[in-house]
Amino acid sequence: MHKLLLAGLLLTAPAGAQDSTGNAEAGKRIYMKNGCYQCHGTVGQGTIEGARIGPPPLSAQGMIRYVRRPAGQMPAFTEKVMSDRELIDVYAFLKTIPPPKPSKDIPLLNDLRGK
């Protein structure tokens, strides 16, 4: 399993990281093409294999740092296979994902409470 353990990350920018302005449309294509969705879901909702990342809980720099040196079982993706620029685009895509409706406003989920 590829549980992405995000706790305790240093959120400092890696050398060479660019600013956090990315192209969300390109980022979505990269996210799907490179298979990020396999563990994190097509809208970053997370699965048993990978953490929820949409909307992103980290800064862009923090995400890039984690992708380069993951602490959990997520594979490490180097600059060679996924550039900082591409990751910033992915981050821009993840930022476009709205937070979910509160579960108390989803009857099928709210009904689960108290049982």
Partner 1 sequence: MARKTPVGRRGFLKGAAGAVASAAAGAASLAISTQAAEAQAPERAVGDHAATPLPSAALSANEKSSPAARVDVYTTDRPGSDFMVDVIKTLNFDYVCANPGSSFRGLHESLVNYGGNKAPELITCCHEESSVAMAHGYFKVEGKPLMVMAHGTVGLQHASMAIYNAYADRVPVYIVLGNIQDINFRRSDVEWAHSVQDAAAMVRDYTKWDDNPVSLGHFAESSVRAYKIAMTPPYEPVVIVADAVLQEEPMPEADRRTARIPKLTLSAPPAGDSGAVAEAARMLVAAENPLIVAGRAARTPQGIALLVELAETLQAAVQDRHFRMNFPSLHPLNGGNIATADVVLGLEVQDFWMATHSMTPINRMGMESRPITKPGAKLITIYSGDLYGKSNYQDFGRYAEVDLSIAADAEATLPALIEACKKLITPDRRSAMQARGAKLAEASKAARERDIELAAYGWDASPISTARVSAELWSQIKNEDWSLVSDVNPFFSSWPLRLWDFKKHYQYLGEHGAYGIGYGAPAAVGAALANRKHGRLTVNIQCDGDLNYAPGVLWTAAHHRIPLLTIMHNNRAYHQEAMYLSDMAARANRGIENFSVGTGINDPNIDYAMMAKAYGMYGKGPISDPKDLGPALKDAIEVVKRGEPALIDVVTQPR
Residue 52 binds partner 1, judged by CB under 8 A: yes
Q: Which stretch binds partner 1 (CB under 8 A): 11-19, 20-28, 56-64, 68-76?
A: 68-76
Of 25, 29, 97, 94, the residue nearest 64 (C-alpha): 94
Residue 82 binds partner 1, judged by CB under 8 A: yes
Structure tokens at 80: 């060679």
Of 83, 95, 93, 85, the residue nearest 19 (C-alpha): 85
Q: Which residue in 7, 8, 19, 108 binds partner 1 (CB under 8 A)?
A: 108
* Cα angle value 8/79/73 (rounded, 5°): 40
Residue 12 binds partner 1, judged by CB under 8 A: no
Shortest distance, position 67 Cβ to partner 1, whole Å: 10
